[in-house]
Homo-oligomer: A and B are copies of this chain.
Amino acid sequence: MRRASFTDMQCSVAQSLEQIGEWWSLLIIRDALLGVRRFEDFRTRLGIASNILTSRLDTLVAHGILERRRYSEHPPRDEYRLTDKGRDLWPVMTAIRQWGDKWALDLEDHPTVLVHDTCGHVCQAVPHCSECGQELELGSIHVAPGPNDSDPSFIPRRPAPGSDRS
């Protein structure tokens, strides 16, 4: 059961962190989801050194999260757009933002809010069950080995720790 390498971990969380689990990368994705596309805009907003930004953008492009598109030939200039894979990170970013609003920021008012255009309200994203539609809570879910899991020891026990709130 020893796990010496992350790339060997057949775990979605570990593999995702390989691709997005770096601080600058997540802030670049945050800004991309807000509509930022150009190198200079990322650089100015994040206060990040150009060489670090170049490296992180290259990595995100290599992982297929961003794609590079030329928007000017003279001078040659590229912009960075989220791919479908990158756009699919919005629930991750939203969950991080909501947790931070509640627990990490020391502010009464949230600096940003999520607006649901369909109903027009400022809202929270609330996880619901894809099967029965009910709202999910930590006490009513657990993670189980998948159908072909080769290492059931990866799940140490059930039920989930949320059921133990002593």
Q: Which residues of A contact B (CB under 8 A)?
A: 1-6, 10-19, 21-23, 26-27, 30-36, 41, 44-47, 81-82, 85, 87-105, 107, 109-119, 121-132, 134-136, 138, 140-149, 151, 154-162
Question: Cβ of A19: which chain B residues have Cβ within 8 Å of it?
Answer: 103-104
Give the complex CA separation of A114 and B158 in angstroms: 12
Question: Cβ of A140: which chain B residues have Cβ within 8 Å of it?
Answer: 116-118
Question: Cβ of A162: which chain B residues have Cβ within 8 Å of it?
Answer: 33, 87, 90
Give the complex CA separation of A125 and B104 in angstroms: 23
In the complex, are the beta carbons of A45 and B121 less than 8 A apart? no
Question: Cβ of A13: which chain B residues have Cβ within 8 Å of it?
Answer: 26-27, 30, 93, 96-97, 100
Question: Cβ of A121: which chain B residues have Cβ within 8 Å of it?
Answer: 129, 131-132
Known contacts A34-B161, A47-B3, A130-B123; is-contact A115 B142 (Cβ 8 Å): yes
A91 interface neighbour in B11, B99, B100, Cβ under 8 Å: B99
In the complex, are the beta carbons of B12 and A21 less than 8 A apart? no
Extra A-B contacts (13), CB below 8 Å, given A31-B156, A94-B127: A11-B30, A12-B112, A15-B100, A15-B104, A15-B105, A35-B157, A109-B146, A112-B149, A113-B146, A114-B144, A118-B134, A125-B129, A125-B136
In the complex, are the beta carbons of A127 and B129 less than 8 A apart? no
Give the complex CA separation of A10 and B145 in angstroms: 39
Question: Cβ of A157: which chain B residues have Cβ within 8 Å of it?
Answer: 35
A129 interface neighbour in B100, B103, B116, Cβ under 8 Å: B116
